[in-house]
Amino acid sequence: NRRILLASRPEGAICAENFKLVSTPLEPLVDGQFLVRNHYLSVDPYMRGRMGKEKSYAAPVALNEVMVGATVGEVVASLHPQFAVGDKVTGLFGWQEYGTSDGVGVRKVDDKLVPLQAYLGVLGMPGVTAWYGLNKIVAPQAGQTIVVSAASGAVGSVVGQLAKLAGCRAVGIAGGAEKCRYVVETLGFDACVDYKAGRLYEDLKDATPEGVDGCFENVGGAVLDATLARMNPFGRIAICGMIAGYDNQPVPLKHPQIILSMRLLVQGFIISEHPEAWPPALKELGGLVAQGELHYRESVVEGLERAPEALMGLLKGANFGKQLVKLV
């Protein structure tokens, strides 16, 4: 079983030396267990937090332990009454080719109508995160303007499309002209601002002529500052992520007083604390994907050994859509 372990903790940006690829023999199954061959690994920004030892909402990965993460794959051997060989499953098997489980936290999935790896993105944790933060915190109403940062990504792309379906004006913020074009032309947002073009506030102002009623924040720092300056009274801000600061960069706010002057509601959330959101979110998102009303795209690298490179790229915006590793 080839596996990638956390070899050392990063100080700032992560590097290849923080990881170690090892090969270990598979343990024989005991009664009540099954063995899964992982087909895809999910690569997510939260993994950066698990590599450090800073205080966080989730325990760090221990040194020389397999890197955490969700996977999709297929049961290849089973001594479990409810899981049979050939079942497609998703679970937290981590960065390895094979995982053993007693079934806790493992979900069977159907890949007849949607590709298996969609259960790591639009029909997995990122999709549910978008659904929860938008509906439960931003609470969009028809006619309002909703801004989402990292708009071309796994979470942001779903947020903006759901906001459009709710009758809102959806405005994205993303890095680079190509991502912005995709956000408008393929995802159907009303506008998308390229924060790398050097005119973030001016461009956001032009894209939000009636101000901003709801913000779904994935980035933090200067990007959040620009949106704050466009907020309407009683606007809502869901703090989903602050990726601009995940390598320990400072992400100060220049004008926090706007929270007071505009009487804003600012609410952070961690999706793993809202298991009740999964059934309604997946019902709605699954229906939209099946009807072709929800678009998504993937960045796929091939080979377990390339997972560290995929995570390094994700934290710099090298991905374009949901970042996956295909195990070959």
153 lines the binding site for ligand NDP (CB under 6 A): yes
Burial class (CB in 10 A: 0-12, 13-18, 19+), 33: middle
Buried b (16+ CB within 10 A) or exposed e, 276-299: ebbeebbebbbebbeeeebbbbbb
Closer to ligand NDP by CB, 214 or 241: give it: 241
Contact between 149 and 173 (Cβ < 8 Å): yes
241 lines the binding site for ligand NDP (CB under 6 A): yes
Contact with ligand NDP (CB under 6 A) among 68, 123, 150, 310: 150
159 lines the binding site for ligand NDP (CB under 6 A): no
Phi then psi dihedrals of residue 73, to 5 deg: -170, -160
Closer to ligand NDP by CB, 190 or 194: give it: 194
325 lines the binding site for ligand NDP (CB under 6 A): no
Contact with ligand NDP (CB under 6 A) among 61, 154, 193, 281: 154
Closer to ligand NDP by CB, 75 or 207: give it: 207
- By CB under 6 A, the count of residues binding ligand NDP is 30
Closer to ligand NDP by CB, 97 or 298: give it: 298
Binding residues for ligand NDP restricted to 23-82, rule: CB under 6 A: 44-46
Nearest distance in Å: CB 189, ligand NDP: 13
Contacts of 230 (CB under 8 A, 6+ apart): 147, 204, 205, 208, 211, 212
Segment interacting with ligand NDP (CB under 6 A) among 107-115, 134-142, 253-261, 311-319 = 311-319
Contact with ligand NDP (CB under 6 A) among 218, 227, 264, 327: 218
Contact between 91 and 71 (Cβ < 8 Å): yes
Burial class (CB in 10 A: 0-12, 13-18, 19+), 232: middle
Phi then psi dihedrals of residue 315, to 5 deg: -75, -5
The Cα-based distances of 302 to 94, 305, 308 in angstroms read: 16, 8, 12
271 lines the binding site for ligand NDP (CB under 6 A): yes
DSSP 288: H
List residues near ligand NDP by CB under 6 A: 44-46, 126, 129, 150, 152-156, 174-175, 179, 218-219, 223, 240-241, 243-244, 269-271, 314-317, 319, 322
